[in-house]
Chain A
């Protein structure tokens, strides 16, 4: 039956393409909750993609590739942290600079690696038993990499930490009212540094997933604007990991469904659609009073210095 294979392919793509978006969105949610906007996601992702591919190629082990991508992403994000937290530079510009730097650096370093086939990609697993369930089985439990399930598992964990633990309260306090947090003895800069690093780490893994699992190869500029879509998804998610998951998966499904327009729409215009969707999701959440109620962290993009402003 045609509709079944259609549903299965959409659901399957939703997980495969939504996972890197989700990973990076989760990270950005933490960074922004602590009050630091990081527009360098595209740069961190592409550095992650590059370093994961090279490591996986050399070591023949994609998992080591992901670990290296995570550390490269985290390390790379610290440049932004230093500029925007310690030097109190403009966060928008610093993030843009990080993206420029990442795209440039990966382009320069990756020149020799383009077009090589990856001998060992992230293994795809089939969950015994569950994969036999009609429709849901082949959609959710067949031929996906383990990282996808780990990412989905991360969602409730990161939600719980953010909203139900002391660590989460600390992070949110720093993003809402750093001066008060400071007076309560919270080390504002340290918390911000840590959250930016978490964001970088997850962006790095997201990029790594692209180059060792999703499309196992290295191509210059292969993130193709995904990092910016993540920034939009973070807003769409109201800085909440659960909504972040819904947003990332919905976005991926929408992207996949847009291919159904193929008979009516030229391929170039089809490729423009995801970028329009990113604007569209923001239009969608801008309606109503929701945003005012669950709005952005109050101190987002505002640097903190004790005893000033």
Chain B
């Protein structure tokens, strides 16, 4: 047997998802494995997309707005995401909040297919969930934009045999199983040459930046509801992509000394790269 490799890319999760596999098996076997990964990514996209009116998330959002006090059953996938989001909400004293969706809609960063009107919505503290049952004391709306891409990558990786060399990159949310001694280029501005090479420090890396957004910020501070400016980018290395994806927002909003504690707790490392390419480690 010889070592074969395969690289595929599909438009998924609202961005470009690249799956690279290498291993001691036939090219056809690699293709089949990549199909498994893409099928899983498509499935999770179908469940958790805010943009898709028929997704489970959109259906649950309709209920959380219309009948907040009624208990609703949610999928295991959503429940897994919400439990991490809940811990992060607590640790960050409300600065990591998935209920920011209405503000993002009014800021034209998300489509308004739920016909949200400008009124006060609840936050994550109003959300009650126990295993697979969810309810809220105030109408609210969830957006998983800052966590679900990472989760989808983690789930896709689980479908693949670990003896393969796996690399999945979902619009900057990157997973590599053999990350040791690898390096990665982090893009800190939209120009193609604005990249910094840094060594991989863990199996997952997520980067958040604003430079493709034409001046509008996709980052809204959940408590003050103010747009947060970010020149350059924030990158977080963590043991899972979901965690790395979520922690980039915590690093963005929390004071440096406070987010250090959270990063240590989750065994993560964070960097901020300025728009001129200077790296600062947290």
Q: Do A and B come from one complex?
A: no
Enumerate chain A interface residues (CB-CB to B < 8 A). none
Interface residues of chain B, those whose CB is within 8 Å of chain A, are none
